[in-house]
Amino acid sequence: MKDKEGRDTLPFITKIEELKKRLTLSKKKVKEIEETARVYPFRIPEFYFNLIEKDNPYCPIKKQCIPDIKELSSHGEVDPLIEEKYSITPSFIKKYSGRGVFLTGTQCAMYCRFCNRKRLIGKNHNIRASFEETFDYLKRDITIKEVIVSGGDPLMLPPEEFEFILRKFAKIDHIKIIRISSRMPVVYPEGIKQKHIKSIKNLSPIWFIVHINHPKEITEEFSKTVRNLKNAGCIILSHTVLLRGVNDCPYILRELFERLVLLGIKPYYLFQVDEVKGVSHFKVRLRKGIEIMKILRQETSGIAMPTYVIDITGAAGKIPVDYKFIKNRSGSKLFIEDLNGNIGHYRDDGKKSSCIKCSICYKK
């Protein structure tokens, strides 16, 4: 990979020394990044890093990829979605009837600062050692009709390993739907090789869920990757996380969702930030999220509308953020009923949203 001047570059930035060369950082900020990265490492693809507006303190790209000392807050839980409780094997999570999540590893092209698997991502967990155990389980459990291939990012696998996993699922008769969740088209499109695309095409149709949070992430390279995936037979949906200071504005989200629709991508879920330890500074108040959805409903097409959902601590399932499911409040703590009638909780203690002066809404 080469930069604009033809010099060889590494595809990922993982060291503070490289950040210091490329960004104007105070000594205090350097120390904070080093301290944070000792707990939660960082990895930023060159491609994504080059989208940063270096002189913009509100830059939504920078906030998603540069470590922040706020990540060391004690608020939140390591595994609020109790995935470990629902893990059949280290590489397979079954929380819902008829489907489950297959974890391909703990590596992503970028370690998003709001990740709900901060306990795993970038760490040396040997999830792959349990693959055969998982495949054996899936052959026996005939109730499993759908597998969500996640991780880590499945497209970080070498093409041969990626194809091997897809073919394993394809050989199990009762598995009818394969869903791939990835952020690679957004942050590291050049990492998706033609062999990855070919593997998908051989088993199409496959549902592909792309994780994208801001209109600035819709690049020419992203659009080209989307076209390649669609030509391979993918049905593409999107996930977006509602992030304070990044996209907690109806006009930012309207532009994102409408541009996705123009590319043939259906906005699927808008997620409230999970109660994960290290991400509480990204929380948006639920009242603000509901207000955003109301404005979107008024101002954009229904096909550009995702479902606004919350994964609650202590219960199972993605619950629509709707008054029907909120049963009680004690201070900032909401008690929310899941679809099975179980009561879980969510601490609605996000700080107040404020305008980041991006001009998307045409206001100064």
Would you say residue 45 has pLDDT above 80?
yes
pLDDT tens string 211-251: 999 999 999 999 999 999 999 999 999 999 999 999 999 99
Token pair belonging to 230: 């669609």
Same domain, 303 and 191: yes
Better-scored residue on pLDDT, 80 or 26: 26
Token pair belonging to 271: 């997620």
Q: What is the mean pLDDT of residues 329-354?
A: 77
Same domain, 33 and 129: no
Same domain, 98 and 231: yes
Same domain, 290 and 169: yes
Is the residue at 80 inside a domain? no
200: domain CATH number is: 3.20.20.70
Same domain, 246 and 283: yes
- Predicted confidence band of residue 7 (pLDDT cuts 50, 70, 90): very low
- 3-class SS at 148? strand
Q: 194: Cβ–Cβ under 8 A, 6 or more apart, which residues?
A: none
2-16, 108-122, 219-233, 312-326 — most confident range? 219-233
Nearest to 256 by CA among 314, 186, 332, 179: 186
Domain count, the chain: 2
Would you say residue 332 has pLDDT above 70?
yes
Partners of 326 in the β-ladder:
336
- 3-class SS at 263? coil
DSSP assignment of 185-207 equals: HHH-GGGS-HHHHHHHHHT--EE
Is the residue at 342 inside a domain? yes
Placement of tokens 């491609």 in the chain: 47
Is the residue at 309 inside a domain? yes
Q: What is the pLDDT of residue 9?
A: 47
Same domain, 53 and 101: no
| Residue 349 to residue 248: CA distance in whole angstroms | 15
Same domain, 242 and 159: yes
| Residue 247 to residue 20: CA distance in whole angstroms | 27
Is the residue at 45 inside a domain? yes
Is the residue at 60 inside a domain? yes
| Residue 2 to residue 104: CA distance in whole angstroms | 29
Helix (H) / strand (E) containing 259: helix 250-262
Token pair belonging to 15: 């060291």
Same domain, 60 and 192: no
DSSP 181: E
Is the residue at 146 inside a domain? yes
Same domain, 27 and 174: no
Is the residue at 79 inside a domain? no
Would you say residue 4 has pLDDT above 50?
no
pLDDT tens string 285-309: 998 998 999 899 889 999 999 999 9
Same domain, 99 and 36: no
Would you say residue 313 has pLDDT above 80?
no
Same domain, 58 and 189: no
Is the residue at 237 inside a domain? yes
- Predicted confidence band of residue 323 (pLDDT cuts 50, 70, 90): low
Print the domain residue range for 43.
Answer: 12-72
Would you say residue 79 has pLDDT above 80?
yes
Same domain, 147 and 244: yes
pLDDT tens string 169-198: 999 999 999 999 999 999 999 999 999 999
Partners of 238 in the β-ladder:
210, 267
Q: What is the pLDDT of residue 33?
A: 96
